[in-house]
Amino acid sequence: MDAILSYLVMFMMMTLAVVQAQLRTGFYSSSCPSAEAIIRSTVESHFNKDPTIAPGLLRLHFHDCFVQGCDGSILIADSSAERNAVQNIGLRGFEVIDDAKSQIEATCPGVVSCADILALAARDAVHLSGGPSWLVPTGRRDGRISSSNQASNMPSPLDPVSVQKQKFSAKGLDVHDLVTLLGAHTIGQTDCRFFSYRLYNFTTTGNADPTINQSFLELLQAQCPKNGDGLRKVALDKDSPAKFDVSYFKNVRDGSGVLESDQRLWEDPATKSVAQNYAGNIRGILGLRFEFEFPKAMIKLSSIEVKAGTQGEIRKVCSKFN
């Protein structure tokens, strides 16, 4: 069994290497030289009206890549499509991708894929939030399948670290990638319904999750009262929810992780080691380390099971197949 597993992991890594070789930065430099600038200006325009669109685009790209690879399948609008899976509740940013696509089609029809637009938009969203920028390898093609049934293995805020590791490993991502990518929770919000169970009757004695810092627990209970509005939004990073920084890791260190899956990172030796490095007290240096590692993890994420060459298609409209 171990030999089979080792073979599968090796095969996946070889496949990833081949795919990454098919993707390249500047893929559209001749066929649509203005593509990346159009995407950037579109994201910036939406961001200036509503900065919370940044974590929305980042999450949209992550959810796209975890189901059938980064192929834009999350963008399809259909009752049975991927975006309607229960795991994808609350996804947003579709209008930003549609806006960028319509502008690009007017300039370079049938050239730039929706999957690439989403990958580039996620990068721009991070940068606009004060995070790093990076060169995004492009050349993805759009998938021709989008099914809500295939989203069942998405990572969940209820997952213990062992399950998170398995789900990330199945996509060719290691523990370092897992912790680094979860650092995206430095921006954005979540609903009370996804973590309020931690605040009341978490233990058999009816108490809250003991790993939550007491003062933070009181803050969360005030924001999410018992039997209150489960749809109320709460920042994932209590200190700087709109700034892409290392505050998220400091919160996890201090028992102030909002989602259970975030806080559990501090209990597993392997994930704690990575989070601890990012949360360190040496001002500046540790933040720079996260800024360096996050782009590398994102490039790896955005290379998962991509369609390239003659696979898939280049959609005319991102929300429907050609």
The answer to whether the annotation marks 186 as part of a ligand binding site is yes
The answer to whether the annotation marks 61 as part of a ligand binding site is no
Contact 104, 117 (CB under 8 A): yes
- Which whole-number Å values give the CA distances from 30 to 67, 115, 117, 120, 312, in the listed order? 31, 19, 17, 17, 21
The answer to whether the annotation marks 209 as part of a ligand binding site is no
The answer to whether the annotation marks 310 as part of a ligand binding site is no
271-290 residues labelled b (16+ CB within 10 A) or e (exposed): bbebbbbbbbeeeeebbebb
Q: Which residues contact 312 (CB under 8 A, 6 or more apart)?
A: 71, 113, 141, 142, 143, 144
The answer to whether the annotation marks 254 as part of a ligand binding site is no
The answer to whether the annotation marks 29 as part of a ligand binding site is no
The answer to whether the annotation marks 127 as part of a ligand binding site is no
The answer to whether the annotation marks 155 as part of a ligand binding site is yes
The answer to whether the annotation marks 82 as part of a ligand binding site is yes
Residue that the structure tokens 């929810």 belong to: 241
Q: How far apart are the first and last CA of the chain?
A: 42
Annotated catalytic residue, options 61, 63, 127, 176? 63
The answer to whether the annotation marks 46 as part of a ligand binding site is no
CB atoms within 10 A of CB 163: 14
The CB-side HSE value for 227 (13 A sphere, CA atoms) comes to 0
Encoded amino acid at 265, one letter = L
Q: Is 63 a catalytic residue?
A: yes
Which residue numbers belong to the known binding site?
64, 67, 69, 71, 73, 82, 155, 185-186, 237, 245
Which residue numbers belong to the known binding site for Ca(2+)?
64, 67, 69, 71, 73, 82, 186, 237, 245
Q: Which residues are catalytic?
A: 63
Which residue numbers belong to the known binding site for heme b?
185
